[in-house]
Amino acid sequence: MTTSHVKRAFKYRFRPTDAQAAELSRTFGCVRKVYNMALAARTEAWTRQERVNYNATSALLTAWKKTEELSFLNDVSSVPLQQCLRHLQVAFTSFFGKRAKYPRFKSRKKSRRSAEYTTSGFRFRDGKLTLAKMAEPLDIVWSRPLPEGSKPSTVTVSQDAAGRWFVSMLCEDPGVQPLPVNAGAVGIDVGLEHLLTLSTGEKIANPRHERQDRARLARAQRELSRKAKGDGANRAKARRKVARVHARITDRRRDHLHKLTTRLVRENQTLVIEDLTVRNMVKNRSLARAISDAAWSEFRSMLEYKAQWYGREVIAVDRFFPSSKLCSTCGALQQKMPLSIRTWTCDCGTTHDRDVNAAKNLLAAGRAVAACGAGVRPQRSSPDGQSAMKQEVSRREP
């Protein structure tokens, strides 16, 4: 009996030769072209109330390659072209399942430049990766080793807006195993003044990575705005400078969240968070920048998949649960709680820190969910839902 392991993507930087960079750039362009043509064909069929599946678009790709106008598609590996059709099929499946919006066309300037290779499109031997249509292996910066004995099942090559090249290898990782069960449980209240407040009383500072680099970003954006619009080399160079600042902010933020979520998952068996609608919160113009910098959605995503890896449980409490107004000692509910009040004293004599009290209440609600299956799903409709959302946003204002 074989044991199935968790599949993880291991991402590395690499330095392509001029020939490899040119080949990959051609591949990116062909992937975008095929995706857009297949989307146009499926959209046209959709207007006729017909459905075109992956097999039909694959047959179209074969026909396109035989035309003189699109013969350049034969110059690149066919594997990434087939994979982009599969990605389009997944996008339509999500759309028909009402889990996503209608697929959009890929833009030459804004869309992610990437190509995915399956096992028939690359060779991995002796720690060296060679892609189809290439004579030499990629010069990969091995910042960490792949799991011993594992081989990639899928390889994705990409280039970000800052001009950096990455290769992502999907491998089975036997090192990811459920951790020993412990009695640890923690309530987590997210915020802006403090990124996290735990039910233990610990407060984790918000590093505000975007604010730290705001002056550098503004300077780079001013330089970009002075360049003449178009495809000029100077404007492209200025655009890469802006992208490098954004990349620095994103990398530091992600590194901090990875360390934080790994620590929380290792220390606690049960983690209780609030089911926030961040996409609605960022509509508040005065707080959108700070909320985006805090990256609450990314924090929750990391927490959930790591908990699944290591046998932990994440419970999301209804976002309308009055965690700030409820006394965590006696359960009394305060009718009003002005946002300026950060500490308050209940009639039972307990003095509360607002955020710590909210985290304690979240933990208690999460334990109730675990014990008796109390309601944990967010309320989709509520007469005062909008006011509750606005209050929740304001509660996190520094």
Residues designated as active site: 189, 274, 355
Cβ(24)–Cβ(164) under 8 Å? no
Q: Residue-wise over 54-86: b if at least 16 C-beta within 10 A, else e?
A: bebbeebbeebeeeeebeebeebbbbbbbbbbe
The alpha carbon dihedral of 108, 113, 118, 123 has a sign of positive
- Residue 55 corresponds to which tokens in the numbers above? 């097999």
Which residues, 6+ apart, have CB-to-CB distance to 333 below 8 Å?
A: 322, 325, 326, 327
127: alpha, beta or left, given left = phi > 0 and alpha = psi -120 to 50?
left
Cα Rg for the chain, rounded, in angstroms? 25
Rounded Cα distance, 363 and 274, in Å: 10
One-letter amino acid for residue 282 of the chain = V
Phi, psi of 27 (to 5 degrees): -65, -45
Cβ(307)–Cβ(271) under 8 Å? yes
> Cα separations (Å) of 122 from 78, 106, 130, 133, 134?
12, 25, 6, 9, 9
One-letter amino acid for residue 272 of the chain = V
